[in-house]
Structure 1
Amino acid sequence: MVSSPGPRSQLNPAVAARLSMRSGEYKGPTGLLARGYVQANVVIVPKEYAGDFLRFCHLNPKPCPLLAVGAPGDPTLPSLGDDIDIRSDLPAYRVLENGREVGIVHDISDRWSDDLVTIAIGCSFSFEEALENAGLGVRHNELGLVNPMYTTNIVAKPAGPFRGNYVVSMRPFTPANTIRAIQVTSRFPGVHGAPLHFGDPTQIGIKDLDVVEFGGNRVPIHDGEVPVFWACGVTSQLAVEGAKLPFCITHKPAHMLIADVRNAEIAVL
């Protein structure tokens, strides 16, 4: 049983954000919520597929860095937060059947079963605080947008039925600031770490940066800047779609789980 914390005024920002999602009060993107706290992609699969999916994550740690794994049928993730209820603590979920999305919902309690395993994967929203603290403006945040995400030609290592191509998120910087961004994000391998690529997007199979694929927004790139691409946890969604599982649940892109873990706690240097 997941407990309900006390008055919201006494809560840390992560718990307060989760409670607003649990109640249905908040249903939007999470990038600017609870700054300083780790955010996570979520994939929920039947336990018979969990081993192969975890192996997929281990084989592809850049896009799918593991943060936590739940026990079968257990909607809590104690290592990420004492009161987390994965059935209601995200603002939006994708429900998939046989690899196809059949609905976007804001609570999955009526779809939960003792057969389901929750996997939490690092999210680049977590390292954006460090970029901003280093004086590197994150443009989509400055404009109140969701970061743009694209499918690449980088092929993930397969595991069982799980396979597909890497997805990346993009943030523009000047060349000098790109070097600084690499240094800053290298400290956070648990949330994708350093970028995979910067410069010409066609080299990783992206034909048009104006065509944003996964719920984000086009972000302008100014003169003298280059696009910088980080591996993205949406890679895991392509993998479960391609596996055509009879049933699974993921977060809606940009609508993440917010943990009680601070970003500073996962830095390696």
Structure 2
Amino acid sequence: MYADKTPSHIRQLIRNGEYNDNTSGLAPGFVQGNLAILPKAWADEFLQFCQLNPKPCPIIGMSGQPGQFMLPELGEDLDIRRDVPRYRIYENGVMTQELNDISEVWRDDLVTFVLGCSFSFEEALLADGLEVRNISEGVNVPMYRTNIECRPAGRFSGTTVVSMRPMKAADAIRAVQICTRFPSVHGAPLHLGDPSLIGIEDINQPDFGDAVTIKEDELPVFWACGVTPQVAIEQAKPSFCITHSPGYMIVTDLPNSRLAIL
């Protein structure tokens, strides 16, 4: 019903309150982004954190000045306050509420960061004939906290969050080859196989998103995930911050092909 809609149409549906679900599988061919919005006093340190941790935090866009909420370089009439299906509000590192529109809490000192999302490379996997389980099962991708430490920057530190897609060994190798071409949306997987080696105790209990079926002949394949900044925000405890809800992305007008290394 929604998969064939243009990014602009999807954003309009979200803005009008007609769509508020996760965005996996929407707007094939176009980049989706994770979101982090922080006060100006925290923006430089967060930018450095992203630069030091490009796998989980690849920046694909940011506001040109504090308070700017229209991001024309990412999409026509893209309003970052109203075009994400679900936002999270953090106060002193604690999530206090989820909203479908942040216009009422917007401030003139806020700086927006849009980070690459694994939903973009899912298109390349599908095009090569690989199954993406969260799409075939119609659920949000499973995401997990790990013991993989990020490089700290100022007040920001923490561990990497990963997304997981189960695959047969041969398909996992092909996925590595494909995703290496997309460094702006997390690139190649960080880990294949035993989840306990990266600190995941129960693969059937993701920290974010939904569990998916893992068949007996499949390996869990883990990619760095743009939910990582939310863990860093929990650690840094800025007085106020806004993110997307995991899996509920900003859909941009940027073609995925622009991010690929040919």
- Smaller-chain TM-score range? over 0.9
Match of 2:161 among 155, 164, 167: 167
Which stretches of structure 1, 4 residues or longer, exceed 4 Å deviation after superposition? none
Task: Classify the secondary structure of the residue corresponding to 1:237.
Answer: helix
Partner residue in 2 for 1:6: none
Partner residue in 2 for 1:20: 13
Cα distance in 1 for partners of 2:251, 2:74 equals 9
- C-alpha distance after superposition, 1:81-123 (max 9, x if no partner): 1311001000000011111111100111111111000000000
- C-alpha distance after superposition, 1:7-37 (max 9, x if no partner): xxxx961000000111111111001211111
1:1-269 correspondence to structure 2 within 5 Å: 13-70=6-63, 71-214=65-208, 216-269=209-262
Give the number of aligned pairs.
258
Cα distance in 1 for partners of 2:222, 2:14 equals 29
8 Å CA contact 2:8–2:76 kept in 1: the answer is no
Cα distance in 1 for partners of 2:109, 2:164 equals 36
**Identical aligned pairs, as a percentage?**
53
Cα distance in 2 for partners of 1:199, 1:266 equals 27
RMSD: 1.1
- C-alpha distance after superposition, 1:34-84 (max 9, x if no partner): 111100000000001000000000000000000011021100222211311
The residue identity in structure 2 corresponding to 1:172 is P
Cα distance in 2 for partners of 1:169, 1:161 equals 25
Question: Which TM-score applies when normalising by structure 1?
Answer: 0.94
The gaps in structure 2 that reach 5 residues or longer are none
Task: Classify the secondary structure of the residue corresponding to 1:159.
Answer: coil
Cα distance in 1 for partners of 2:207, 2:108 equals 33
Task: Classify the secondary structure of the residue corresponding to 2:184.
Answer: helix
Partner residue in 2 for 1:5: none
The residue identity in structure 2 corresponding to 1:123 is C
The gaps in structure 1 that reach 5 residues or longer are 1-10
Question: Which TM-score applies when normalising by structure 2?
Answer: 0.97
